[in-house]
């Protein structure tokens, strides 16, 4: 997979992420978080042509507190890189409807993984998870970094007061829906031998209003269906996933194509659609979910 001016996943359906997504600015030294925020705001307004999230500066400070090494010049629109090299970024959909929040994603090997639907949701989750670790070892600096925004979203001790035994359940009930949390919930149902609940949760994951534009829910649901022997339904779910941008699959294109049982002829047909004659049509269709 190449991220840049090349197609992500090496597949014809995959749209190109902006070539600057993982690249530092060529002009001058790398910015610190304190100086990076104006650059992010300027880029989001002038290049991405949208309004920056209201609490972006607090999230940047919190990411630094959590161990992110440096701010990055926002070119597509990276926010921070952590010690393992993973990049946290805002995703600017090419044809996002007016008023839609920019989701926060992590750039991974096969594209992007949704972390939260918006900045506030991620701030809320970070604070809850930090508080749940251990009340005596809670990162006070992280709470200070969230400033008054954090105080509005979450107060220390709320998780313990809720008497909800599992952190994931608290997140789903009090914070919002997250792909990784829903996937763990399905796996937990399987471990308990409750295949019906696993199937119901997998189907719930794919509801269009939950994660619009992302293919990952359909991929995971296809895997769930395959696990219980529903091959035909799994094939349909995988084909549904391939109708979304391939860089949102959360895995390699080939894994999904295998479940979808796409033949070589079908793959060649898709390739033909992105020739010079068909590229414009497919670019228009790429975000038809909106």
* For residues 87-109, average pLDDT: 82
* For residues 253-269, average pLDDT: 78
90 bridge partner residues: 104
Chain mean pLDDT for the chain: 75
In eight-state DSSP terms, residue 106 is E
Residue 193 and residue 274 in one domain:
yes
Question: At 184, which CATH number?
Answer: 1.25.40
Is residue 24 over pLDDT 70? no
Using DSSP, how many helices (H) and how many strands (E) does the chain show? 13, 5
Residue 108 and residue 186 in one domain:
no
Residue 197 and residue 289 in one domain:
yes
Amino acid 272: pLDDT = 56
Q: Give Cβ neighbours of residue 139 (< 8 Å, ≥ 6 apart).
A: 65, 130
> Is residue 13 a part of any domain in this protein?
yes
Task: Annotate 173-192 with b (16+ C-beta within 10 A) or e (fewer).
Answer: eebbbbbebbbebbeebeee
- How far from chain centre, in Å, is Cα 112? 6
Domain hosting residue 194, numbered range: 177-290
* For residues 117-122, average pLDDT: 94
- How buried is residue 220: exposed, middle or buried, by Cβ count under 10 Å (0-12/13-18/19+)? buried
- How buried is residue 165: exposed, middle or buried, by Cβ count under 10 Å (0-12/13-18/19+)? exposed
Helices (H), 47-139: 56-65, 119-133
The conformational region for residue 100 under phi > 0 = left, psi -120 to 50 = alpha, else beta, is: beta
> Is residue 60 a part of any domain in this protein?
no
The rounded distance, in Å, linking the Cα atoms of 139 and 143 is 7
> Is residue 135 a part of any domain in this protein?
no
> Is residue 12 a part of any domain in this protein?
yes
Amino acid 57: pLDDT = 73
Predicted confidence band at 147 (pLDDT cuts at 50, 70, 90)?
A: confident
Predicted confidence band at 15 (pLDDT cuts at 50, 70, 90)?
A: very low
The rounded distance, in Å, linking the Cα atoms of 218 and 122 is 23
The rounded distance, in Å, linking the Cα atoms of 234 and 62 is 40
Residue 198 and residue 280 in one domain:
yes
Q: Which of 5-19, 34-48, 124-138, 206-220 has the lowest mean pLDDT?
A: 5-19
> Is residue 160 a part of any domain in this protein?
no
For the chain, how many structural domains are there in total?
A: 2
> Is residue 197 a part of any domain in this protein?
yes
Predicted confidence band at 243 (pLDDT cuts at 50, 70, 90)?
A: confident
Largest CA distance in the chain: 63
> Is residue 210 a part of any domain in this protein?
yes
Residue 100 and residue 182 in one domain:
no
In the block, tokens 């790429």 appear at 286
Amino acid 155: pLDDT = 92
Pairing between β-strand 70-71 and β-strand 78-81 as defined by DSSP bridges: antiparallel
Domain boundary residue among 82, 114, 146? 114
104 bridge partner residues: 90, 116
The rounded distance, in Å, linking the Cα atoms of 198 and 221 is 10
* For residues 123-147, average pLDDT: 83
Residue 184 and residue 279 in one domain:
yes
> Is residue 134 a part of any domain in this protein?
no
């Amino acid at each position: 997979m190449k991220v840049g001016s090349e197609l992500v996943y090496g597949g014809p359906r995959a749209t190109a992420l902006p070539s600057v997504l993982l690249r530092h600015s060529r002009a001058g030294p790398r910015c610190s978080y304190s100086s990076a925020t104006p650059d992010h705001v300027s880029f989001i307004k002038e290049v991405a042509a949208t309004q920056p999230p209201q609490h972006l500066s607090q999230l940047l400070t919190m990411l630094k507190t959590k161990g992110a090494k440096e701010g990055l010049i926002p070119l597509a629109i990276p926010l921070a890189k952590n010690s393992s090299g993973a990049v946290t970024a805002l995703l600017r959909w090419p044809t996002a409807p007016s008023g839609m929040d920019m989701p926060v994603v992590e750039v991974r090997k096969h594209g992007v993984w949704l972390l939260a639907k918006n900045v506030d949701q991620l701030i809320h989750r970070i604070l809850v998870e930090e508080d749940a670790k251990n009340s005596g070892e809670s990162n006070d600096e992280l709470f200070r970094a969230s400033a008054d925004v954090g105080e509005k979203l979450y107060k220390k001790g709320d998780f313990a007061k809720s008497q909800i035994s599992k952190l994931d359940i608290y997140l789903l009930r009090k914070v919002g829906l997250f792909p990784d949390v829903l996937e763990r919930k399905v796996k937990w149902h399987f471990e308990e031998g409750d295949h019906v609940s696993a199937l119901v949760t997998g189907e719930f994951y794919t509801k269009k209003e939950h994660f619009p534009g992302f293919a990952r829910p359909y991929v995971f649901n296809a895997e769930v269906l395959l696990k219980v022997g529903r091959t035909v339904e799994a094939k349909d779910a995988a084909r549904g996933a391939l109708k979304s941008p391939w860089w949102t699959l959360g895995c390699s294109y080939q894994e999904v194509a295998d479940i979808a049982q796409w033949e070589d002829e079908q793959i060649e047909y898709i390739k033909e659609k992105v020739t010079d004659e068909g590229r414009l049509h497919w670019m228009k269709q790429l975000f038809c979910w909106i």
